[in-house]
Amino acid sequence: MMKVLVVWNDIKFLFIGPMILALLCVINWMTSPGEWWVQWAALGLGIPWVICMIRVMRATVIVGGLAALIAAWMRRTQAGSKGRRND
């Protein structure tokens, strides 16, 4: 259950992180247009954003693989039961 919450929080951060960065860009542009300190915030938010993206992609591959495995198993069991009825 905890892994599901971790992935859910990662998905939320994938959307919230860029919004926070956009807000910081606007604040930086309005307060000090000559100095772009927002690049450090982008680096600080970018590293965990990439880590979250990797976690979400890994979870997607695992869930998709399990779904494909279950579908193949269901197809095989249904084909096997149809073959037995004809005999």
Provide the residue ranges of all domains of the chain, joining segments of one domain with +: 2-86
User: What local confidence, expressed as pLDDT, does residue 4 receive?
Assistant: 83
Using alpha carbons, list the distances in angstroms from residue 52 to 3, 18, 19, 65: 13, 13, 15, 20
Confidence band (pLDDT; 50, 70, 90) for 51? Answer: very high
Six-digit token pair at 81? 């039961």
At residue 14's C-alpha, the angle toward residues 41 and 66, to 5°, is 145
User: What local confidence, expressed as pLDDT, does residue 33 receive?
Assistant: 82
pTM for the complete prediction? 0.73
Please write the tens of the pLDDT for every residue from 11-39: 999 999 999 999 999 999 999 988 999 99
